Structure 1
Amino acid sequence: MCHIPGVLAAPKAELWPFWQPQEIKQTSDKPLSVADWQAFLDTYVSPDAQGVNRVAYGDVSKEDKQTLQRHLNALAELDPREWSEAEQQAFWINTYNIAVVNLVLDHYPLDSIKDIRLSFKSLFNAGPWEDKILVVAGKKLSLNDIEHRILRPIWKDARFHFALNCASIGCPNLAKEVYRAESLDEQLERAKREFLSSSRAFSVSGESYRLSSIFNWYWQDFAPEKKQLWRYFQGQGLIEKPVESFSYDYDWDLNVHVSTEGK
């Protein structure tokens, strides 16, 4: 997932009413095929020794880059609000992840997605989170719009944090499999388990507990109050007793495949 680091507080979930799901209509547009996105994932994404899915940005062909851009361009006339809610959720997750990869490719090489500056907003927010980088149903959208004004406030599923990828080592993995409506719940559960089992999410040293900064930025998605955050990890089988405080960490280095770094 993506976040606004640095000088601003993490974004709250604030509904954009236009995107509220509507009555399902058989005559409505259907989701675009994600076959090209799956082909991209098959070709350019692979895990490293630590289990971090890395992207071979430097190896992406001009043709494959153009294919991603065409996919995003085609969303301008597409309106997902009359699809099933699972179709909508899968659509937004895939769209977010495609948009992030496409954004990195537009500016590669770089060390971190935070280095991308598209406007004053990018500078102020230490990254391109608020910049309008795509159009869906005629509405200009930013990455934050998708995450914090559509997905989080409409469906209130904390597992979205484990499915959205911000092109960083510290982020939950960019899944090797596109998200699909018919298997969405299973895929979100897998993404959650995979991240929580990694040291990027949770680690213990003696009596000290270190968490991903995701749980600091968005604690309210995991617990009714921050001092009760430990209960979420207890429910996941990671903590047995109350924990008074955690330390937090996040690695913003680009999730680039090492071969493209000349290593």
Structure 2
Amino acid sequence: MKKITTQLMCLNVALLTCTGVIASEISDKFSKYDANSNVEILYDDYDAVLKASVLAVGQSTRAKAKESNASIGTRMKVRINKLTALEGNRFFYEQFQDDDNQVLLENIQKSLETVPSEVSLSKLNRDEQLAYWLNLYNLTVLIELIDMYPIKKIDDEFEDDETIFSKKTLTIEGVELSLNDIENEILFKNYDANPIIIYGMYQGNVGGPSIRKNAFTSRNVYQNLRSNASEFINSNRGTYSQGKSTFRVSSLYERKEKYFPEFQSDLTAHLSKYIHGTMSNYLREGPTLKPNINDWKITDLFKSQKSRGMSSAANSAALMDSVGITSGGKGEGVPNASTPTLGLAAEVYSDRGVTYGRFSPEQIEMLMKVDEIRLENAGEVTITDIKTEEQ
């Protein structure tokens, strides 16, 4: 009897399995949208977290970090990738070792998971859906890395079969999803394999796209994706050449090669849209692209980057070790007393973690009216007596 019951639970017309919709059906499940919808999800709590926790380093100058010298009182050195060490935004992981701060992030994640149960994603326009998926993706990466912290490198997460990207960590509209599901079955398929999408998916490592200081919204999503693309491509993390026949690019592009079916030509065309300066001249010469630029260090601000011994390492990359230091570029600097705090984020979350909490009062009123109409219609069944010729 138990066996039969289990079999019945795993079988339905929607092709569900015990772990959710099968991979080939996920994109269909989340493919519907309303092009005319003006419903907007509010992310001000998550936005406050990012503003309080992200150090925006600014656009790369393509300068290399200086050689690391041993700290006073020790022979230990801080090992860095000199080509990329000064680039990419950093996240203040250390402050989330506080249980309350960690719970705050997890509560925001749970709140975002429940949004589609209140308002179906199919009632949102495409840009609103894109912002939703990217925010949920990046927030989940942060939570997973916080759970692993302190760590220095995360290369295993890109090589092993069981990683933070492959495990089912989210449940949306009753469907269990992994981060890979979100990328491969939803974003890739529902957004026409547009490579701009890859710059919105934070990977947690210095060699990947930057985590931004603000949440994605339908109003800013493409502008911010283009900004991230330009920052990445015009950095040593994204492209680097010394004018030879080989043009080095990030290994990110090899991992995302499905966005570039004809890898050499498609990626060259893509890079050409954003690259400028000397590197653009090298790229125009038609070199072979070699995806071998890596930096697996976690984008941490403090603990994982700290030097050993009595003093900090004597190199410019050590800016990540000091609380009071600001970015040398156009970044916004390390969070301090004048920037938003996690306390503010917690206050904002208290208004969001309720039914319809992620929508404006005007939208809530509209949504409730829609729900009333839907329930009324669901309760009405009209039977028409159809007479045949024999009657």
Please say whether Structure 1 and Structure 2 have the same fold, judged by a TM-score greater than 0.5.
Answer: yes
2:238 and 2:138 map into 1 onto residues whose CA distance is 20
Paired residue for 1:243? 287
Paired residue for 2:250? 212
CA drift of 1:147 comes to 0.9
Larger radius of gyration: 2
Identity value in percent? 22
1:18 partnered with 2:56: no
Q: 1:69 to 1:26 in 2, by over 3 A?
A: same
For 1:104, the aligned partner's letter is L
Q: 1:113 to 1:136 in 2, by over 3 A?
A: farther
Of 300, 321, 326, 1:256 maps to 300
Query: Are the equivalent residues in 1 in contact too, given 2:206–2:295 (CA < 8 A)?
Result: yes
CA drift of 1:27 comes to 11
Q: 1:247 to 1:262 in 2, by over 3 A?
A: closer
5 Å-filtered alignment, 1:1-263, equals: 16-23=27-34, 31=41, 33-48=42-57, 50-60=86-96, 61-79=98-116, 80-114=121-155, 124-125=160-161, 127-156=163-192, 157-207=194-244, 208-222=246-260, 224-228=261-265, 229-237=267-275, 238=280, 239-259=283-303, 261-263=305-307
For 1:85, the aligned partner's letter is R
Q: Any runs of at least 4 consecutive aligned residues in structure 1 with deviations exceeding 4 A, and if so which?
A: 24-28
For 2:45, the aligned partner's letter is D
2:142 and 2:110 map into 1 onto residues whose CA distance is 14
TM norm structure 1: 0.82
Q: 1:217 to 1:260 in 2, by over 3 A?
A: closer
CA drift of 1:112 comes to 3.2
- Stretch moving more, 92-101 or 123-132: 123-132
1:25 and 1:190 map into 2 onto residues whose CA distance is 26
For 2:210, the aligned partner's letter is N
CA drift of 1:240 comes to 1.2
CA drift of 1:100 comes to 0.5
Query: Are the equivalent residues in 2 in contact too, given 1:14–1:148 (CA < 8 A)?
Result: no
2:131 and 2:125 map into 1 onto residues whose CA distance is 10
Query: Are the equivalent residues in 2 in contact too, given 1:76–1:138 (CA < 8 A)?
Result: no
Q: 1:171 to 1:185 in 2, by over 3 A?
A: same
1:240 and 1:25 map into 2 onto residues whose CA distance is 41
TM norm structure 2: 0.57
Query: Are the equivalent residues in 1 in contact too, given 2:38–2:125 (CA < 8 A)?
Result: no
Paired residue for 1:10? none
Residue 216 of structure 1: SS of its match in structure 2?
A: helix
CA drift of 1:192 comes to 0.9
Q: 1:245 to 1:45 in 2, by over 3 A?
A: closer
Paired residue for 1:8? none
Residue 284 of structure 2: SS of its match in structure 1?
A: coil
